[in-house]
Structure 1
Amino acid sequence: MAEKKLLMIVGDYGEDYEIMVPFQALQAVGHEVDAVCPEKNGDDTIKTAIHDFRGDQTYIETRGHDFALTASFDDIDPADYDALVIPGGRAPEYLRNYGEVIETVQHFDAENKPIAAICHAAQILAAADVIEGRTCSAYPALKTDVEDASGEYYDGVTTDGNLVTGRDWSDHVEWLSQFLDVLGTTIEHEEVVTADD
């Protein structure tokens, strides 16, 4: 498998699992991942939020971890990356107002590079005008946002061309599996020798 260079756009109070899990899982299968945030440097951190579903009409939110960025938005060139990952949480509602975020998403879409977006990341996709005419998943409360952006909402994980979307962190297994398929990632298992062998 050829290593891919992936870009992840994150921000304060992005969903903890939706940042941490793909960041680590994509590295675990051999890819390089840079995490960036507008107005922050590569040695800064963002604060994450943990969202949980406990039978209420919406999710609850508690403070998550400090997540270390790996690069500065000003120092990266989207052309150097093979794919884009956009986590959800509260961060997308303000990240979509940054021109460099929108331009970056539009670059990946125009170049037909894989984009993995989950949960509230659909707010960024809608602002970047990349949903029109496509099937897109998101947190269920964003169904109207997807439809207002002229997309077709899907209640599950879906791949439409280069775009892989899911509802929330409970979709991680299928969402990451479909994203790895779009990336062309194959995982080979080797026999592990243990001390008991």
Structure 2
Amino acid sequence: MAKILMLVGDFVEDYEAMVPYQMLLMLEHDVATVCPGKSAGDSVATAIHDFEGHQTYSEKPGHRFAITADFDGLQPETFDALVIPGGRAPEYLRLNEKVLDIVRHFADQNKPIAAVCHGPQVLAAAGVLKNRECSCYPAVAPEVQIGGGTYMTPGEGMDTAHVDGNLVTAPAWPAHPAWMREFCRLLPTD
């Protein structure tokens, strides 16, 4: 099965890290979770974002999410695909030049990339959205557009995924079934 890299950081959205991670493991993929400044055996804090009728999502403490591989010494060429969950982590992960180089590697090599919610902030900062279509949480749409991409409005209920070549994006965790289904269709098989 595929060897997949998942980029996370403190206050990654709980469902957007844990659920895809578990789904990919269920399908017997090898998933390495990494975070700048952390090593295998460490963990990150997560945040639970919910849609409760306010003008924006609410945020509550989530679970601890395990880091399974060392960020230092990471070799992106040894991975088949990349997953970037949302939450608050992307806003500072995009400031890390090594994170941006990793994203550029996957884009340049046309390897499958899945990003959800605020994850496309990292894609925009890496400069890989030019002339690409990208779904995301609506508040991230300006960054997609500034990055040269076309913002794809999510379907009602925010449960749809958008595919543009090797790029699979979605607006938020309600899209997990569609987002992971489309991503898995792009993964190499044995």
TM-score by length of 2: 0.94
Structure 2 residue 119 is the aligned partner of structure 1 residue 121: yes
For 1:33-182, what aligned pairs fall within 5 Å after superposition? 33-156=31-154, 157-182=161-186
Aligned counterpart, 1:189: none
Q: Give 1:75 deviation, angstroms.
A: 3.0
Find out whether 1:30 has 2:14 as its counterpart.
Answer: no
Q: After TM superposition, where is structure 1 displaced by more than 3 Å over at least 4 residues in a row?
A: none
Structure 2: how far apart are the matches of 1:108 and 1:134? 15
> How many residues in Structure 1 have an aligned counterpart in Structure 2?
184
Residue 157 of structure 2 corresponds to: none
SS of residue in 2 equivalent to 1:73: coil
- Root-mean-square deviation over aligned CA pairs: 1.1
Q: Give me the whole-angstrom Cα distance separating, in 2, the residues matched to 1:118 and 1:86.
A: 7
Rounded to whole Å, the distance in 1 between the matches of 2:149 and 2:18 is 28
Q: Which runs of 5+ in 1 are unaligned?
A: 187-197
Matching residue's letter, 1:121: G
SS in 2 for 1:84: strand
Tell me how far 1:142 sits from its aligned partner: 1.2
* 1:54-107 deviation line (CA, Å, top 9, x unaligned): 111100000000111001111321000000000000000000001110000000
Deviation at 1:185, TM superposition (A): 5.7
TM-score by length of 1: 0.91
> Which stretch has the larger CA shift, 9-18 or 149-158?
149-158
Distance 1:140 1:118, change over 3 A: same
In structure 1, C-alpha distance between the alignment counterparts of 2:109 and 2:163, rounded to whole Å = 17
* Percent pairwise identity: 52
Structure 2 residue identity aligned to 1:175? W
Task: Kindly indicate whether the alpha-carbon contact (under 8 Å) linking 2:44 and 2:64 is maintained by their aligned counterparts in 1.
Answer: yes
Which amino acid counterpart does residue 105 of structure 1 have in structure 2?
V
Aligned position for 1:193? none
* Contact 2:34–2:71 under 8 Å retained in 1: yes
Higher Rg: 1
- The runs of 5 or more residues in structure 2 that have no matched partner are 155-160
Per-residue CA deviation, residues 17-70 of structure 1 (Å, 9 max, x unaligned), is 000001110010010000000001111110000000011110000000011100
Distance 2:33 2:73 in 1: 12
